[in-house]
Amino acid sequence: MRKALTAVTATIGLALAPGIWAGTAAAAKPAHDKSFSTIAVGAMISSSGNRFEKVYRIIRSPDGGGGAIQDGTLGGTVFPVAGHDTMELFFRDGLQMTADTFTLGPPGIDGVGAVTGTGKCTTGTGMHQGEKCSYKITGTYDLDTSVTMLRLTGTFTRAASAT
């Protein structure tokens, strides 16, 4: 009886093994670039000298909605002015950290000016752990309301274990 049970167990194990190996191979997908776009609408919550902090409501494909905190520094006080920042983007599937360089164009009579720049992912958690990305930034800022509207478009590559 014991020999029969061992033989049945071994047979079941051999029958399941190809499925287990196939599942393992399917889970280890190679990483590849995917396009994304993000819409961010935010407002300044503090500033001191050339330093500022803003909060944003963001919508990003493919991650959905979230929020972001931006800590930045302007390189001067005369437009156009260059700056740099770090952002923490909070999504349901994890945290993404980015670093950006940007330029604020001169504002018009209505106080609205253009924002252009580039950015890249620096680190993350959850689905964003090991993620690499680069993107372009376009948008506007409003001196009267302190509202900034940004569009980020680019590509990302997630680690094979996170896709």
| pTM reported for the whole predicted model | 0.77
CA distances 12 to 4, 52, 118, Å, are 12, 64, 55
Over residues 61-67, mean pLDDT: 86
DSSP 1-63: -HHHHHHHHHHHHHHHHHHHHHHHHHHSPPP-EEEEEEEEEEEEEEEETTEEEEEEEEEEETT
- The reply to whether 60 and 7 lie within a common domain is no
- The verdict on 90 and 21 lying in the same domain is no
Same domain, 67 and 80: yes
Q: Which domain holds residue 15?
A: 1-30
57 and 133, same domain (yes or no)? yes
- Is residue 162, in this structure, part of any structural domain at all? no
- Do residues 114 and 39 share a domain? yes
pLDDT at 155: 94
Higher local confidence (pLDDT), 141 or 93: 141
Let me know if residue 71 belongs to a domain. Answer: yes
Residue 20 within a domain: yes
Q: Exposed, middle or buried by CB within 10 Å (0-12, 13-18, 19+), for 125?
A: middle
Please answer whether residues 57 and 73 qualify as being in contact, where contact means their C-beta atoms are separated by less than 8 angstroms. Answer: no
Looking at residue 5, what is its pLDDT?
39
8-63 pLDDT per residue, tens: 344 344 344 444 334 444 455 556 788 999 999 999 999 999 999 999 999 988 77
Q: Is the same domain home to 10 and 69?
A: no
70, 56 contact by CB (below 8 A): yes
